[in-house]
Amino acid sequence: MNILLIGSGGREHALARSLSASALCQRLFIAPGNPGTARHGANVTLDVTDHRAVIDFCRVMAIGFVVVGPEAPLVAGLVDDLTAAGIKAFGPSKAAAQLEGSKAFTKDLCAECGIPTAAYRRFTDAEAAKTYIRNYGVPTVVKADGLAAGKGVVVAMSFEEAEAAIDMMIGGGLGAAGAEVVIEAFLEGEEASFFALCDGAKAIPFGTAQDHKRVFDGDEGPNTGGMGAYSPAAVLTPELQARVMHEIIEPTLKGMAARGTPYKGILYAGLMLTKDGPKLIEYNARLGDPETQVLLPRLTSDLVEALLAACDGKLDTVSLTWSDKAALTVVMAANGYPGAVEKGSEIRGLDKAGALDDVIVFHAGTKQDADRIVANGGRVLNVTGLGRTITEAQAKAYEAVSQVDWPEGFCRRDIGWRALERERG
């Protein structure tokens, strides 16, 4: 069948690579894609916020399956509109994507279904929120209800910080996303990510990962979209993964089905591993970026078959297989990220880096400029290495990074440090 993939980042390069490797995939189109996805299919210019245009494209190109990468089109209801037009599409409906689109929605579902998460209250009134924090104390966590591109969470160590966050969010600093805030208890523990493939009724594990959100070595500096990741996350032992499935993922699917909004797609659970067990920090309604760049290179079974089965409510017919190898990805970002960056600097050495064994160089924010590849965003490349251990995968990734000639970019030098410490014992 012909497949259309929506998105343009490193996650979509990794998806394009795995989708195009499937025997079920005839032609692959990516809208809008990037120079990396162009190696696996045809990039097309399509306004993905114009659902009618996407549907028309699918009809003209005889697209049998649409895979949506990022959250915005999911929350905007692209899957609903495609489905209504008779086009099979992977990802949750608009109503089900609320699990990512509204923190208040997810917290209420957790409360209703007994899913372990931080205690919380919802507020639309700034004074009421501040009074609540004065009574309950700090540290506390202030979250904008809606999608805020990574700026919607403030872990406040002092009343002043908490109050400033409340004023900023309810005062309109994040637009409509902050009109309501969730105030929640501060959780202590190690963070890890757990992915599940869901068909509305059933879920199967889709791998584990850990990432590094801070921009500088030693997990210092401002938060980013992620400076690197690795999979598997050994801290999520088989026992803990079974608990996550039984205590968090399965009750969520049951609750969503009971509400008449069954969840189909990838459910990405951000977890805090507390001394009382795993607790849900947040859900994403899609694969992670850069987590996909370490998950999919380890998947040895057919991705298209698995996503189609999830779409058709037939996950009981699928068993996923994974490589024994570990994967680690290093994000190369433009100097200045996560602040303002300059676009257009040339990146050399990509072929040399990509030619190394057990290395995949994913494009995230690049652009083809005649015969040159140039930087076109903040997070620009994701250099993934594979190895028998995270330690080996890290060595591979940094060996490849050293082949990339790009003075206008930088990367962290310590991606995976926690896992390396664990492997050293």
* Binding interface with ligand GLY (CB under 6 A): 211, 226, 284, 288-289, 291
The reply on whether position 155 binds ligand AMP by CB under 6 A is yes
Rounded to whole angstroms, the Cα distance separating 186 from 229 reads: 24
Binding-site string for ligand AMP from residue 100 to residue 129, where x marks contact by CB under 6 A and - marks none: ------------------x-----------
Give min distance, CB of 390 to ligand GLY, in A: 17
Cβ(266)–Cβ(206) under 8 Å?
A: yes
Give min distance, CB of 279 to ligand AMP, in A: 8
Nearest C-alpha neighbor of 7 from the set 86, 99, 72, 98:
72
Give min distance, CB of 223 to ligand AMP, in A: 7
Judged by CB under 6 A, the number of residues near ligand AMP is 11
Q: Residue 37 or residue 403: which is nearer to ligand GLY going by CB? A: 37
Rounded to whole angstroms, the Cα distance separating 10 from 291 reads: 10
Beta strands 359-363 and 379-387 are antiparallel
Q: Residue 187 or residue 404: which is nearer to ligand AMP going by CB? A: 187
The reply on whether position 420 binds ligand AMP by CB under 6 A is no
Q: How many other C-beta atoms can be found within 10 angstroms of the C-beta atom of residue 22?
A: 19
Cβ(29)–Cβ(4) under 8 Å?
A: yes
Coil, strand or helix: which one is 254?
helix
DSSP-assigned states of every residue in 169-198:
HHTTTTGGGGSSEEEEEPP-SEEEEEEEEE
Q: Is 208 exposed, middle or buried (0-12, 13-18, 19+ CB in 10 A)?
A: buried
Give min distance, CB of 370 to ligand GLY, in A: 32
Binding-site string for ligand AMP from residue 249 to residue 288, where x marks contact by CB under 6 A and - marks none: ---------------------x----------xx------
- Looking at residues 175 to 214 of the shown chain, list those that interact with ligand AMP (rule: CB under 6 A): 184, 186-187, 191
Cα 94 from chain centre:
17
Coil, strand or helix: which one is 189?
coil
Rounded to whole angstroms, the Cα distance separating 12 from 22 reads: 15
180 binds, among ligand GLY, ligand AMP, none (CB under 5 to 8 A by kind): none
Rounded to whole angstroms, the Cα distance separating 271 from 32 reads: 31
User: Which distant-in-sequence residues (6+ apart) come within 8 Å of 250 by Cβ?
Assistant: 203
User: Strand pairing partners for 66?
Assistant: 4, 89
Give min distance, CB of 212 to ligand GLY, in A: 10
Cβ(295)–Cβ(194) under 8 Å?
A: no
Give min distance, CB of 416 to ligand GLY, in A: 15
Q: Using the rule CB under 6 A, which residue among 3, 16, 141, 307 binds ligand AMP? A: 141
118 binds, among ligand GLY, ligand AMP, none (CB under 5 to 8 A by kind): ligand AMP
Rounded to whole angstroms, the Cα distance separating 399 from 324 reads: 21
Give min distance, CB of 59 to ligand GLY, in A: 31
Q: Residue 184 or residue 289: which is nearer to ligand GLY going by CB? A: 289
199 binds, among ligand GLY, ligand AMP, none (CB under 5 to 8 A by kind): none
Q: Residue 63 or residue 380: which is nearer to ligand GLY going by CB? A: 380
Residues near ligand AMP (CB under 6 A): 118, 141, 153, 155, 184, 186-187, 191, 270, 281-282
